[in-house]
Amino acid sequence: MSRGRLRIYLGAAPGVGKTVAMLSEGARRAARGTDVVVGVVETHERAHTSAMLDGLEIVPRHDLEHRGARFAEMDLDAVLARRPEVALVDELAHTNAPGSRNHKRWQDIQELLTAGIDVISTVNIQHLESLNDAVESITGIAQQETVPDDFVRSADQIELVDMSPEALRRRMAHGNIYRADKVDAALANYFRVGNLGALRELALLWLADRVDEGLERYRSDHGISGTWPARERVVVAISGGPEGATLLRRGARIAGRGAGGELHAVFVARSDGLAGPSLPAIAELRTLSEELGGTFHTVAGDEPAAAILDYARAVNAAQIVIGTTRHGGLARLLHRGTGDDVIAHSGDIDVHVVTHSYAAGGLRLRPRRALSTRRVGLGAFLAVASPPLLTTLVAGVLAQLGLSASDEARLGLIVPLYLLLTVLVALVGGLWPAIGAAVISSLLINWFFTPPIHTFTISDPQHVVTLFVFVVIAGLVASVVHRSARRAEAAFDAQQESAALAELTHTLLGSTEQLGLLLRRAVDMFGAEGAAVVRRATKHDPRAAIIAATDAFPPDLATVAVAAQEPADETHDLVLSGHPLAAEHQRLFAAYAIHAGAILHRRALQESASTAESLARDNRARTALLSAVSHDLRTPLAAIKAAIGSLRSPEVEFTADDEAELESVIEDSADRLEALIGNLLDMSRLQAGALVARPRSVDLGEVVPHAITLLSQPGRIEWAIAPEARMVQADPGLLERVLGNILENALRHQPDAATVRVRTSALGGSAEIRVVDTGPGVAENDRERIFRPFQRLGDAPGGDGVGLGLAVARGLAESMAGTLTTEDSVGGGLTMVLTLPRCAPETHPQEHRTGQEEVTT
């Protein structure tokens, strides 16, 4: 059985016409004779959508009951039993009601496809899993119903149902999407022009990427290697030289000429891992490419031109930007430039050769990596000393054997020995010592072993050719050996650098103080006396400043013996003090500087994020304050005003009881207002850091009853104080506020007939005050949320207050070196645990009190 085909209508927002498009396609296929059924369609009470169902067979839904509510879901088994050719299934991301076979509707569709049934469905762009965060940042609404991108990508056909934001808002205003009572709110929130425009762009870009994937798949399946410039992609080939910035900017201008252009910066690294351009230069080019809206890519290859062209063809690029060669005229004759090779093999890809100020006009010698001075010196010594030594050895052996040194037959055996000596010198000291050894060897061969001996005269022309060929071969072999030795040393250095950087990165990832650790590692790695990150002097701040340093780094920059200095970023340098840094360590030191710059950049981002979060938190608090206080301030004020107005009204004559009741309303409302304003002031002082606690020895036997008398219902509090937990270290006034807020919160949630219990106990050096209620309690996940400002859980009967009481209580407790936590009450409810430092216990009997009645035992 072949798998069914899936067609999806994709929209940017509700109301663009996805369901209408699906029903139109279903009606068209049904009219053509295809067996089409409606598995499920959500009309949302839209008359036009409902009318389009006429003439289509609808599979009845089946009802599911969950927690007393009934839900009508698609009857998957009925559709499978019906086995139509095409099933119309609306709202791909829908979550099925509990009790359904599958959790999500897209899983139902998967079963239909497996059964060989074609499916036509709909989905909005905000329901795609990969775009969930982006949609939330645009609309401020987190989507709970999502569908995996892989499933949508697997569709055989995806069709965009598009509509401009203005047209969609007109449809909304005409009542074609939501009911009239929801139109204003929708237009002012989710359906704002900016939101709709951003969602539309997301849908277009996402679908464009899917089209691009399909195009690449088609080209691969059909073996098409040529470029199809469906989207303007510009590849900028950079070598790490100073002309890279010019090339990137030119490439960005070319890519920006058309909509949807892409900029790709490509750096070709050596595949053998040897050193290339400086790491800071590559890092700067990477940053610039990202600032220009492009991407930076590093590819490996021995042939830069081939690597550039392979990458360009892989991304289906239409244009390549490359800089003109820095070789002069003579050098071009000796070495063909990368640009020439790219042009020769580019095929149908356009190549832009960009001139720049670094293009050379004459012969440019490539800088060669020199061997160490020690090795060159040793090689020179061997070049001078070893040929005479070999000559003495060979002459002695010949004399011992009684052979003639000038025998021509012996010359063919002697020359290879000197050639081997030349190779050994090249391995040790490089090219020039080896050439010296070859010249000295040729002179010694001529003097001691070429007839006539003991003279530089050569009687046989054949011997002249032999000596000349010896010198040439020795020079060529020495050149090859020298290059191989240089590469081996470079590879070893690169390996050492890579190992050092990998070890540094691994160490830094596990450290909380990365900058200090990097400086200490730099001191160890480079043998410096000290290391520091220094902020450069600027026009506004003419004095350089040390940001971080090791202990041995001098505090006065004027006295520092700078061993090495490398830019870490635009404003900071990494500086070593002590002996000058060896040249071969400069590249690794530059990598350390880049790490330091990255750490500074990350610090700046963290500080910015912290500042932004603080501002956002303040804004949220301000918004919550305005919305909550606007109601909670008005309520007691309105009650006070109404009561006073009634008392002063000459039209009504009140009895003494009525007047007392109105006066009680005024008093209670004033108390509520005072408590609210007090909490607001305390919260503002806590957030501003202006509240100062003055702890001293406090007797809970005095503070607890006084706090209870200030409550709205003191008779509902029953309390007991253990002698060993009677004296605590606290600020009496703040402790009274903490207890008042905790007790008022407990009374608010406690059933009317029950009392709130207060108990104290000692635990080590602390005293714990427990306020126990038997109310509905708080879920584990909400325990911390109740201590946030302006948070009120839904279990408060009256919903009084702005949600500041517990936040203020915890803040005041912490200002006294205490804590305020929660735990479950035995038998249900919530227990608030206030922990404070305990003082030395005094001799007191245990006290039990209910309300204001005292019982002493």
pLDDT digits (tens, 9 = 90+) for 209-227: 777 677 777 767 767 666 5
Residue 506 has pLDDT above 80, yes or no: no
Nearest to 113 by CA among 92, 99, 130, 135: 92
- Check residues 477 and 326 and name the one with the higher pLDDT: 477
Residue 302's pLDDT is what? Answer: 73
**Which residues contact residue 302 at a Cβ distance below 8 angstroms, ignoring those fewer than 6 apart?**
270, 271, 272
Q: How confident is the model at residue 108 (pLDDT cuts 50, 70, 90)?
A: very high
> How confident is the model over 578-594, as a mean pLDDT?
79
Do 434 and 383 meet the contact criterion of CB atoms below 8 Å apart? yes
Residue 307 has pLDDT above 60, yes or no: yes
Q: How confident is the model at residue 538 (pLDDT cuts 50, 70, 90)?
A: confident
Side-by-side strand order, sheet with 853-856: 819-824, 830-837, 766-772, 756-763, 717-721, 847-850, 853-856
Q: Which of 198-207, 279-288, 355-364 has the lowest mean pLDDT?
A: 355-364
Kindly list the distances between the CA atom of residue 395 and the CA atoms of 386, 436, 448, 450, 460, in Å, as whole numbers in the listed order: 14, 21, 8, 13, 21
Element (H, E) at 307: helix 304-314
> How confident is the model over 497-503, as a mean pLDDT?
67
Residue 198 has pLDDT above 60, yes or no: yes
Do 473 and 416 meet the contact criterion of CB atoms below 8 Å apart? no
Residue 754 has pLDDT above 90, yes or no: no
- Check residues 757 and 802 and name the one with the higher pLDDT: 757
Residue 756 has pLDDT above 50, yes or no: yes
Residue 742 has pLDDT above 70, yes or no: yes
Do 334 and 301 meet the contact criterion of CB atoms below 8 Å apart? no
Count the neighbouring beta carbons within 10 Å of the beta carbon of residue 119: 25
Element (H, E) at 122: strand 118-124
Residue type, 208: A
The model's pLDDT over 313-344, given as tens digits with 9 standing for 90+, comes to 888 888 999 988 765 554 455 556 788 888 88
Q: How confident is the model at residue 394 (pLDDT cuts 50, 70, 90)?
A: confident
Side-by-side strand order, sheet with 350-354: 295-300, 262-269, 233-238, 319-323, 350-354
Q: How far apart are CA 29 and CA 52, in angstroms?
A: 14
Q: Which of 182-186, 386-390, 426-430 has the lowest mean pLDDT?
A: 182-186
Average pLDDT of the chain, as a whole number: 80
Residue 701 has pLDDT above 70, yes or no: yes
Q: CA 332: distance to chain centroid?
A: 46
Do 11 and 171 meet the contact criterion of CB atoms below 8 Å apart? no
Token pair recorded at residue 495: 């390996």
Do 167 and 147 meet the contact criterion of CB atoms below 8 Å apart? no
Residue 794's pLDDT is what? Answer: 45
Do 115 and 5 meet the contact criterion of CB atoms below 8 Å apart? no
Scanning 9-104, the segments in alpha helix (DSSP H) are 18-31, 47-51, 76-82
Q: Which of 319-323, 367-371, 617-621, 686-690 has the lowest mean pLDDT?
A: 367-371
Token pair recorded at residue 270: 């050596």
Nearest to 207 by CA among 169, 167, 161: 161
Residue type, 469: V
Count the neighbouring beta carbons within 10 Å of the beta carbon of residue 321: 26
Backbone angles phi, psi at 479, to 5 degrees: -65, -45
Do 398 and 405 meet the contact criterion of CB atoms below 8 Å apart? yes
Q: CA 347: distance to chain centroid?
A: 39
Backbone angles phi, psi at 803, to 5 degrees: 80, 30
The model's pLDDT over 763-813, given as tens digits with 9 standing for 90+, comes to 888 999 999 998 888 888 777 878 876 555 543 434 444 455 687 788 888
Do 593 and 280 meet the contact criterion of CB atoms below 8 Å apart? yes
Kindly list the distances between the CA atom of residue 734 and the CA atoms of 203, 300, 686, 721, in Å, as whole numbers in the listed order: 56, 68, 12, 19
The model's pLDDT over 634-674, given as tens digits with 9 standing for 90+, comes to 667 877 888 888 888 887 788 888 888 888 888 878 877 77
Burial (CB < 10 A; 0-12, 13-18, 19+), residue 395, is: middle
Kindly list the distances between the CA atom of residue 636 and the CA atoms of 489, 625, 666, 682, 709, in Å, as whole numbers in the listed order: 85, 17, 8, 20, 21
Torsional class of 338: left (φ above 0), alpha (ψ -120 to 50), beta (otherwise) = alpha
Q: How confident is the model at residue 265 (pLDDT cuts 50, 70, 90)?
A: very high
The model's pLDDT over 123-170, given as tens digits with 9 standing for 90+, comes to 999 999 888 888 888 887 878 888 998 899 889 999 999 999 999 988
C-alpha angle with apex 204: 198 to 206, nearest 5 degrees? 100
Residue 79 has pLDDT above 80, yes or no: yes
Q: How confident is the model at residue 10 (pLDDT cuts 50, 70, 90)?
A: very high
Residue type, 830: L
Pairing, β 233-238 against β 319-323: parallel
Classified as helix, coil or strand, 350 is: strand
Residue 433's pLDDT is what? Answer: 86
The model's pLDDT over 410-441, given as tens digits with 9 standing for 90+, comes to 666 787 888 888 888 887 887 788 888 888 88
Q: How far apart are CA 244 and CA 266, in angstroms?
A: 10
Residue 364 has pLDDT above 50, yes or no: no
Confidence (pTM): 0.41
What is the residue-wise DSSP string for 45-70? Answer: T-HHHHHTTTTSEEPPPEEEEETTEE
